[in-house]
Amino acid sequence: MFRVENDCLWLFRYFCWDIFEYKFIKVLLKLTFFMVLFLTGLQTVVFLKKADRHYFVQYQPVYFGSSFILLSIYSIPRMVKLMSASLESVPIWHIDSVGPIVERRLKFQSFYFHTVIIANVVVSLLSGVLHAIPVEGDTEIFYTLAFFEEFFPAWKTYLCFFYRLGFIFLAVLMPAPFYLIIYASCHFLFQAIMGLEVLQEINKIKAIKSNQFCQGRIKALLIFCIKRHSLLNRVGYRIKNELKIFIFLFMVTCTVLFICMMVFLLSFQGTFHGRYLRLATLFFLAGVIFVHVFVLCQLIEDMSVKGFQVLQDSSWYDWSEENKKIYLIFLANIRNGFRLQVSPSLAVNYEMAVSMLKSVYSVLSLLGYMKR
């Protein structure tokens, strides 16, 4: 199992990785998966039997939310296994490896991400508790509660209690795959920042063609940076290729779930009294995760571009012929950069985030117009 010695993101790792190594949690994950799968199958049968459009619109957010829960439970152990197998092949530098200035910068970023995960876990638990507390009209939103009342009236108190108790566990579980992506992206970003600092050392050497000592230092740094870049690039592409199916599926399920929630909110005839905090916690968590996933992927992409720019700005014309050849090899390897792509034309970056926000705005505008 992959583990970083003196991990600067140890708290983040605990909530997205280590917590799922406990046998009790593994058993709970399997039980939850089969229970949600059974309830989703049951609701599918009811939808087909009733064939009622209003009934479908009424319960669709929870119905499609179940697919998100199933995908989260299915993906967590597999994502952990894939990331662990890939990251084990990379010697992870500690944040103090390249000097105190970079160390202070990475310490601050580690503190920031620890603050984010603590805030998210607290809000997740709060959301779980708020969903577990009964509110009038919950049977109009959660079809399982309505099912218990209709078919098991004598046992509905106990069944509803245990069903609602599951919200607290699910609140911590559902964001976990995104936390895994953020955790791995943070480590890659930190390694890229330190690697760029080493690369910039080349430009600090006053190169003289006749000075064998200087040319030797440049050669050693170039070869070291090429090996480090190739290793990180290879592992990064391996993780990207193995996880892109999960990323694509999460994008689809999140998009469908968001549209279903918007349709429900605009068509809901009941009262939202007692539900505003529930919605606020859900949108807060979704917003925080959305921002950090896209920002981190964009920062990693930017670091690869900066590496190329540093090489371009180097005084390569003062280097020996051998170093120039090594330089050209490095330049050819780094020029394409690194992007977390889910398809040949689709990458997780600012451009994709803006495109998604525009689509969300268009959907909201359309639904608002239809409601009027």
> Tens digit of pLDDT for each residue in 286-337?
899 989 998 998 898 888 888 888 888 888 788 888 888 888 888 888 887 7
**Rounded Cα–Cα distance for residues 226 and 217 (Å):** 14
Task: Tell me the average pLDDT across 19-45.
Answer: 88
Whether 2 maps to a domain, the answer reads: no
Q: How confident is the model at residue 366 (pLDDT cuts 50, 70, 90)?
A: confident
Helix (H, G, I), strand (E, B) or coil at 129: helix
**Rounded Cα–Cα distance for residues 238 and 88 (Å):** 12
Beta strand extents in the chain (DSSP E only): 341-343, 346-347
Give the count of domains, the chain.
1
Whether 41 maps to a domain, the answer reads: yes
Whether 3 maps to a domain, the answer reads: no
Task: Tell me the average pLDDT across 156-185.
Answer: 88
Q: Angle 156-173/53-87 helices, nearest 10 degrees?
A: 40
Instruction: Check whether 41 has a pLDDT greater than 70.
Output: yes
Whether 27 maps to a domain, the answer reads: yes
Which residue has tokens 């429900």?
264
Q: Are 68 and 253 in contact (CB under 8 A)?
A: yes
Q: Which domain holds residue 181?
A: 10-371
pLDDT confidence of residue 307: 86
pLDDT confidence of residue 288: 92
Average pLDDT in the chain: 84
Instruction: Check whether 7 has a pLDDT greater than 90.
Output: no
Task: Tell which residue, 276, 205, 364, 334, has the closest CA to residue 356.
Answer: 364
Q: How confident is the model at residue 113 (pLDDT cuts 50, 70, 90)?
A: very high
**Rounded Cα–Cα distance for residues 230 and 234 (Å):** 6
Q: How confident is the model at residue 272 (pLDDT cuts 50, 70, 90)?
A: low
> Tens digit of pLDDT for each residue in 192-237?
999 888 888 887 777 666 677 788 888 888 888 888 888 888 888 8
Look at the chain and count its residues.
Answer: 372
Backbone angles phi, psi at 22, to 5 degrees: -70, 135
Whether 1 maps to a domain, the answer reads: no
